[in-house]
């Protein structure tokens, strides 16, 4: 609904039971009782206001991932939206956040380019369980530059949200930390520490789905919304000639030029906007999207069945967008962030830390100046998908090699750091002074304190 020059959406967060596995009911926490939540569509330059009403019995926080958003609407981890009528804050949390009751109008100015964003819960200490139970949805932004391109459109422009889940015999999601007795079983606590994995891959909430496609080009906006699982997406069989995927966009919107990919290595929270040409297959063919990092059931992502010949006037132009390159040499400051598990000598057992410190919502770790380019170095022990709020960045060096790696093209807001690797990014914050977070997007790592505040000024 368009009112006072802004697009308005209203979403109610509530419990629901939905059918994911045939004949079984899965209780979820859902935006409007759905999983994935409803897709929100914005126009660049037109503000979008989303009223979130909390009809759950727990506090929630909504974050628009990839949003260029003023701090009050960014979903700071202690800015709780309390259930209507409840005034009891979660244990151990002082009223440090900007607390709301019953509902909150999140305001997104949409001063940003076309991109595939998503929204999800972001409550401190509790993001893993709420997202796992369903609090995630797409939020797309369109603009004139993208509209003018001859890329596949409408029913051939398909967002794909990939998640993995485990189910019990009744169809309920199994999330170990909600059942503390499970953590006492051998190995389970370590699995939780590493990040919660499921053994069933869901695409847009469905296990091993099949999409009927025309023998034509399709644009897929692929989001890995899993808590902790990484995927290597492959097409089987591949096309007779050329790359199976042509990447046209990443987290922060269109690339300058298309980028051929043999496969897609995607970490939690990353987005790959790709074109697949089913015109290179025959009618009747089934093309499987596999996960090369999976085994058994986690190898299976989805299937495409080519059902008919069809006209296709789409095309992938040689130039997609005018993309500014951030000049890393112009960086005014270099900062280092070390992502590592606590060793007992620090006194914090079993936690994931940034620069040796557990997350504290009151502590400001970094104070970037708006408008200045900074060089941020991410250093890790094991795999961590590092995410920064407010503005995207560009990868300038990975593992000692200059330039972005194969899967790092374009504007990124989440970057996967491999064990023992250093990744350097150029970043520049703009427009909004205030408190934001950067964190590991393995949601269990995030909940176990691998998060840090920065305050722009």
In the complex, the residues that contact Cu ion under the rule CB under 5 A are 65, 384, 389, 440, 442, 445
Minimum CB distance to ligand C2O, residue 68 (Å): 14
Say whether 361 sits in a helix, a strand or coil: coil
Residue 120's binding partner, choosing from ligand C2O, Cu ion, none, with beta-carbon cut-off 5 to 8 A by kind? ligand C2O
**290 beta partners:** 234, 300
Residue 445's binding partner, choosing from ligand C2O, Cu ion, none, with beta-carbon cut-off 5 to 8 A by kind? Cu ion
The 253-292 site mask, x for binding ligand C2O (CB under 6 A), equals ----------------x-----------------------
Question: From the centroid of its chain, how far is CA 455?
Answer: 22
Residue 384's binding partner, choosing from Cu ion, ligand C2O, none, with beta-carbon cut-off 5 to 8 A by kind? Cu ion
Query: 269 or 328, CB closer to ligand C2O?
Result: 269
Minimum CB distance to ligand C2O, residue 161 (Å): 13
Minimum CB distance to ligand C2O, residue 61 (Å): 10
Query: 259 or 439, CB closer to Cu ion?
Result: 439
Q: Which of 156, 387, 412, 445 binds ligand C2O (CB under 6 A)?
A: 387
In this structure, the strands spanning 206-207 and 200-203 are: antiparallel
| E strand intervals along 225-349 | 231-236, 245-250, 253-261, 264-266, 271-277, 286-291, 300-309, 333-341
Residue 269's binding partner, choosing from ligand C2O, Cu ion, none, with beta-carbon cut-off 5 to 8 A by kind? ligand C2O
Half-sphere exposure of 271 (CA within 13 A, CB side): 31
Copy the structure tokens of residue 293: 């990092």
Minimum CB distance to ligand C2O, residue 98 (Å): 17
Residue 62 CA: distances (Å) to CA of 189, 251, 425: 28, 19, 26
Minimum CB distance to ligand C2O, residue 449 (Å): 14
Residue in the structure block whose two tokens are 């981890």: 77
Minimum CB distance to Cu ion, residue 128 (Å): 12
Within residues 173-202, the interface with ligand C2O by CB under 6 A covers none
CA atoms of 65 and 43, how far apart (whole Å): 16
Query: 83 or 128, CB closer to ligand C2O?
Result: 128
Contacts with 147 (C-beta within 8 Å, 6 or more apart), sequence order: none
Residue 439's binding partner, choosing from ligand C2O, Cu ion, none, with beta-carbon cut-off 5 to 8 A by kind? ligand C2O
Q: Which region, judged by CB under 6 A, interacts with ligand C2O, from 159-167, 231-239, 366-374, 435-443?
A: 435-443
Say whether 87 sits in a helix, a strand or coil: coil
Residue 442's binding partner, choosing from ligand C2O, Cu ion, none, with beta-carbon cut-off 5 to 8 A by kind? Cu ion
In this structure, the strands spanning 231-236 and 286-291 are: antiparallel
Contacts with 65 (C-beta within 8 Å, 6 or more apart), sequence order: 117, 118, 119, 120, 269, 387, 413
Residue in the structure block whose two tokens are 């999983």: 35
CA atoms of 263 and 15, how far apart (whole Å): 37
Query: 245 or 378, CB closer to ligand C2O?
Result: 378
CA atoms of 289 and 292, how far apart (whole Å): 9
Q: CB of 249 within 8 A of CB of 316?
A: no
Query: 259 or 271, CB closer to ligand C2O?
Result: 271
Residue 440's binding partner, choosing from Cu ion, ligand C2O, none, with beta-carbon cut-off 5 to 8 A by kind? Cu ion
CA atoms of 444 and 457, how far apart (whole Å): 30
Minimum CB distance to ligand C2O, residue 389 (Å): 6
Within residues 58-77, the interface with ligand C2O by CB under 6 A covers 63, 65
Residue 122's binding partner, choosing from Cu ion, ligand C2O, none, with beta-carbon cut-off 5 to 8 A by kind? ligand C2O
Residue 276's binding partner, choosing from Cu ion, ligand C2O, none, with beta-carbon cut-off 5 to 8 A by kind? none
Minimum CB distance to ligand C2O, residue 387 (Å): 5
Q: CB of 170 within 8 A of CB of 24?
A: yes
Cis peptide before 237 (omega within 30 of 0): yes
Verify binding: residue 398, ligand C2O, rule CB under 6 A: no
Minimum CB distance to Cu ion, residue 275 (Å): 26
Residues in binding contact with ligand C2O, number by CB under 6 A: 10
Half-sphere exposure of 288 (CA within 13 A, CB side): 9
Copy the structure tokens of residue 107: 């305001």
In this structure, the strands spanning 333-341 and 352-354 are: antiparallel
Verify binding: residue 122, ligand C2O, rule CB under 6 A: yes
Verify binding: residue 439, ligand C2O, rule CB under 6 A: yes
Interface ranges with ligand C2O (CB under 6 A): 63, 65, 120, 122, 269, 387, 389, 437, 439, 441
């Amino acid at each position: 609904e368009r009112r006072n020059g802004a697009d308005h959406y209203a979403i109610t967060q509530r419990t629901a039971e939905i059918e994911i596995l045939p004949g079984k009911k899965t209780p979820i926490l859902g935006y409007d009782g759905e999983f994935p939540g409803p897709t929100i569509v914005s126009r660049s330059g037109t503000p979008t206001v989303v009223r979130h009403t909390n009809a759950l019995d727990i506090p929630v926080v909504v974050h628009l991932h990839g949003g260029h958003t003023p701090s009050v609407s960014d979903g700071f981890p202690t800015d709780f939206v309390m259930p209507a009528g409840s005034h009891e804050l979660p244990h151990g949390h002082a009223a440090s956040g900007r607390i709301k009751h019953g509902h909150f109008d999140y305001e997104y100015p949409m001063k940003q380019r076309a991109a595939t964003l998503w929204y999800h819960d972001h409550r401190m200490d509790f993001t893993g369980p709420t997202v796992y139970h369903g609090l995630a949805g797409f939020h797309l932004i369109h603009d004139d530059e993208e509209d003018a391109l001859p890329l596949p459109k409408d029913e051939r422009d398909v967002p794909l949200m990939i998640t993995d889940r485990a189910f019990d015999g009744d169809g309920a999601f199994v999330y170990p930390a909600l059942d503390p007795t499970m953590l006492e079983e051998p190995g389970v606590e370590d699995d939780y520490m590493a990040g919660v994995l499921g053994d069933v891959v869901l695409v847009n909430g469905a296990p091993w789905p099949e999409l009927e496609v025309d023998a034509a080009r399709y644009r897929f906006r692929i989001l890995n919304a899993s808590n902790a699982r990484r995927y290597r997406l492959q097409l089987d069989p591949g096309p007779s000639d050329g790359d199976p995927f042509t990447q046209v966009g990443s987290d922060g919107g269109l690339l300058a030029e298309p980028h051929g990919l043999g496969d897609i290595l995607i970490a939690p929270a990353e987005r790959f906007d790709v074109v697949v040409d089913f015109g290179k297959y025959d009618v009747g063919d089934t093309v499987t999207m596999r996960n090369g990092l999976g085994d058994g059931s986690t190898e299976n992502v989805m299937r495409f069945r080519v059902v008919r010949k069809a006209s296709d006037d789409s095309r992938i132009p040689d130039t997609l967008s005018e993309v500014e390159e951030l000049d890393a040499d112009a960086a005014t400051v270099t900062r280092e962030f070390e992502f590592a598990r606590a060793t007992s000598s620090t006194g914090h057992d079993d936690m994931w830390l940034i620069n040796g410190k557990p997350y504290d919502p009151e502590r400001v770790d970094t104070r970037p100046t708006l408008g200045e380019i900074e060089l941020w170095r991410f250093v890790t022990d094991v795999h961590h998908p590092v995410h920064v709020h407010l503005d995207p960045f560009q990868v300038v060096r990975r593992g000692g090699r200059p330039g972005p790696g194969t899967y790092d093209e374009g504007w990124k807001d989440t970057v996967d750091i491999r064990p023992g690797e250093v990744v350097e990014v150029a970043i520049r914050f703009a427009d909004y002074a205030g408190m934001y977070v950067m964190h590991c997007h393995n949601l269990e790592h995030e909940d176990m304190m691998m998060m840090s505040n920065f305050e722009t000024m």
